[in-house]
Amino acid sequence: MPNETLTITDNRTGKTYTVPVYKDSIRALDLRQIKVAADDFGLLSYDPAFMNTAACQSAVTFLDGDRGILRYRGYPIEQLAERCTFLEVAYLLLNGELPDADQLEEWTSEITHHTMIHENLKKLMEGFHYDAHPMGILMSTVAALSTFYPEARNIHDPEIRKRQIARLIGKMPTLAAYAYRHSLGLPYVYPDNDLGYTKNFMNMLWKRTEPKFRANPVLARALEVLFILHADHEQNCSTSTMRAVGSSYADPYATTAAAIAALSGPLHGGANEEVLRMLDEIGSKARVPAYIEQIKAGHGKLMGFGHRVYKNYDPRARIIKQVANEVFEVTGRNPKLDIALELERIALEDDFFIRRKLYPNVDFYSGIIYQAMGFTPDVFTVLFGIPRTVGWLAQWQEMLQDSEQKIARPRQLYTGSAERSLRAEELEFEAAVSTAA
Ligand code: ACO
């Protein structure tokens, strides 16, 4: 028995059990030995919404919500955002180390050569209404990729897995840009292999008739930083979905489509779109106090505020505020920033928000920047999904290689009726139906 143990006394029976403590946790399965009778199922842990349950061990991302710390593979997010490119960070998340010059060249070329999508996928996209939500289009087209690459089902072959990972990271900006242009009725622009990851994405979004699209370097770098900040965030709702769906050995396209579905909700990635709608609804700085009172009275939530894990300032929100200033020097100041700053100022001084440890999260400022750059709010969550694909895939790969993992299958506490029987007239009716059949 290791030194670190926990002793539990079952007051129903008076029996005492000692279970090992590993990394400040106990294994839920160790509770199963705690029984009232020999034929009992054993004690379960009950944890709706996984408030206090670790479902895996992971070496990808470290997050300390109380101290506002976020690290990818040990590197502080602040350093990565300042010094690295998105593709370097993607390599780091997937492989555990930053690439050297040769590895980076090979990795960049691999991603760049997987940016094209099959023409049939374009036809599928054309079937969507002009006002289809870009997240719906992204989710469907990523799922459809599964039909183009049947080899992807062979998830246990490392080479095949690697190829699908490169395909997904390479194609995601193309699918996102096509979804965006579809909503505007603009022709799709093919990827340009001379350009880097974010500049190529901007090219596919905004190229009109010019022979070569030249992205503003400040905006391209801002997008790169935003992508780095959104690349992974350990076991959040969409990543847990990725792991749960992937645990059934579904192929990575179907699995990523499921993660996109989870991300689309307004309590998760969809929050950045909702923040903009909220700022529109508030309309002016003067109306902020009244809006806050409305939230405190229980009418809705302050979108872009609060986090399941961060109970301190989200470090990504701090970096995003700096990026906002750089972007506004190019685009001009988004007037919504003043409303957002006022909202933050008042909320952070208010006892309601202080007591609940509600701080701005990554989504509070990202939408304001995206809007200044020229994106419409319905595309904000898509901009979250592109980089998060890297984190999903890193976690999916880790899950597949973890010998402790099995198909995800939570237990339940049954609260329905005890066994009962059909009434006599129901039994007669069932008999008549089966005779007629
Ligand atoms: N505005 C007002 N009150 C809030 C907010 C908010 N944004 N967030 C939480 N609260 C309140 C809750 O009503 C609750 O109050 P109570 O104790 O009086 O009942 C208390 O704070 C605790 O909140 P929970 O809902 O228990 O916190 P949980 O960890 O379940 O939820 C979540 C976290 C979903 C992020 C929540 O804070 C929220 O809905 N925020 C707004 C949506 C948002 O910005 N989501 C993006 C998250 S970041 C991301 O996914 C990228």
Name the DSSP class of 187. Answer: P
**How far, in Å, from the CA of 93 to the mean position of ligand 1?**
28
- pTM across the whole model: 0.92
pLDDT at 333: 86
Name the DSSP class of 269. Answer: T
Q: 21: helix, coil or strand?
A: coil
Q: What is the mean pLDDT of residues 307-332?
A: 90
118 is catalytic: no
Residues 6+ apart with CB under 8 A from 316: 70, 77, 229, 230, 361, 362
Would the pLDDT of 93 be above 70? yes
DSSP-assigned letters across all residues of 280-306: HHH-SGGGHHHHHHHHHTTSS--TTB-
Tokens describing residue 325: 């200033």
Nearest to 365 by CA among 234, 276, 302: 276
100 is catalytic: no
pLDDT at 436: 80
Radius of gyration of the chain (CA): 25
pLDDT at 138: 97
pLDDT digit string (tens) for 11-55?
999 999 999 999 999 999 999 999 999 999 999 999 999 999 999
pLDDT at 112: 96
List 268, 338, 350, 402, catalytic entry: 268
| Burial category of 425 from C-beta neighbours within 10 Å (exposed 0-12, middle 13-18, buried 19 and up) | exposed
Nearest to 335 by CA among 285, 374, 381: 285
Counting DSSP H helices and E strands in the chain, the numbers are 18, 5
φ/ψ (deg, to 5) at 63: -135, 125
Nearest to 178 by CA among 221, 199, 207: 207
| Residue that wins the pLDDT comparison between 66 and 175 | 175
Tokens describing residue 270: 């969809």
Q: What is the mean pLDDT of residues 74-81?
A: 97
Nearest to 29 by CA among 11, 49, 44, 7: 44
Atom of ligand 1 lying closest to residue 307 CA: 35
Would the pLDDT of 421 be above 60? yes
The answer to whether the CB of 229 falls within 8 A of the CB of 93 is no
Rounded percentage of the chain residues whose pLDDT exceeds 90: 86
Alpha-carbon gap, residue 186 to 184, rounded angstroms: 5
> Is the C-beta atom of 262 inside 6 A of ligand 1?
no
Q: Are strands 15-20 and 61-64 parallel, antiparallel or unpaired?
A: unpaired
- Residues 87-114 as b or e (16 or more Cβ within 10 Å = b): bbbbbbbbeeebbeeeeeeebbebbbeb
Atom of ligand 1 lying closest to residue 364 CA: 44
pLDDT at 38: 95
Alpha-carbon gap, residue 280 to 206, rounded angstroms: 25
> Is the C-beta atom of 115 inside 6 A of ligand 1?
no
The answer to whether the CB of 387 falls within 8 A of the CB of 86 is yes
> Is the C-beta atom of 166 inside 6 A of ligand 1?
no
pLDDT digit string (tens) for 336-390?
889 999 999 999 999 999 999 999 888 888 989 999 999 999 999 999 999 999 9
Q: How confident is the model at residue 124 (pLDDT cuts 50, 70, 90)?
A: very high
pLDDT digit string (tens) for 152-180?
999 999 999 999 999 999 999 999 999 99
**How far, in Å, from the CA of 306 to the mean position of ligand 1?**
5
Residue 338, amino acid: D
Would the pLDDT of 1 be above 80? no
Q: 75: helix, coil or strand?
A: strand
307 is catalytic: yes
**How far, in Å, from the CA of 294 to the mean position of ligand 1?**
15
pLDDT at 426: 82
Q: What is the mean pLDDT of residues 395-401?
A: 98
Alpha carbon nearest to ligand 1 atom 3, residue:
301
Alpha-carbon gap, residue 42 to 35, rounded angstroms: 5
Q: How confident is the model at residue 2 (pLDDT cuts 50, 70, 90)?
A: low
Count of other CB atoms within 10 angstroms of residue 430: 11
Alpha-carbon gap, residue 318 to 229, rounded angstroms: 11
Alpha-carbon gap, residue 264 to 139, rounded angstroms: 9
pLDDT at 270: 87
Q: How confident is the model at residue 437 (pLDDT cuts 50, 70, 90)?
A: confident
pLDDT at 363: 86
List 232, 307, 314, 378, catalytic entry: 307
Q: How confident is the model at residue 321 (pLDDT cuts 50, 70, 90)?
A: confident
Phi-psi region at 394: left, alpha or beta (left = phi > 0; alpha = psi -120 to 50): alpha
